[in-house]
Homo-oligomer: A and B are copies of this chain.
Amino acid sequence: MEPSLTNNQKIVLEALEDSEQPLGAYSILFNIEKKGIKSPQQVYRALDKLIEIGAVHKIESLNSYIACKHKDCKARESTSFLICQECQKVYEVLESDLSDKFIKLSQESNFKYFTHNLEIFGICDLCN
């Protein structure tokens, strides 16, 4: 079932959906001030919730956020991205294959895999 979003959450999510590139929290704030959002808290709280339900992902190495394009995304915790250094666009990778690979890799060190975060940097198809 679809988790129903609150007003603030919708506003923040739309800001991210409207953007080609990932946005920082303050950049989101700037974009939606005209809609009545006044403080970082409001943005971060909405982001927290959106991330929790998988509607938004955080790009750790950029300290910024993207809307997930996949309906009801599985990637609540583990995420994998291709990040174009030319146009800054981020492409999410969904290969479940990857988790398997990382589980095996972890096992080699007797490490119990829970989640992962993969960020690949390079040049995307369009910029090539």
B-binding residues in A (CB < 8 A): 60-61, 82, 84-85, 91, 93, 95, 98, 101-102, 105-106, 109-125, 128
Copies of this protein chain in the complex: 2
Cα A98 to Cα B119 in complex, Å, equals 13
| Residues A91 and B110 in contact in the complex (CB < 8 Å), given A60-B61, A116-B120, A120-B116 | no
Structural contact, A114 and B91, CB atoms closer than 8 A: no
Cα A93 to Cα B93 in complex, Å, equals 21
With CB as the reference atom, state the residue of chain B lying closest to A128.
B112
Question: With contacts A60-B60, A60-B61, A128-B112 known, is A106 near B122, CB below 8 A?
Answer: yes
Assembly CA distance A93 to B118 (angstroms): 13
- Say yes or no: B85 contacts A114, CB within 8 Å: yes
Flag if A111 contacts B120 (CB, 8 Å).
Answer: yes
A117 proximity list for chain B (CB < 8 A): 61, 117-119, 121
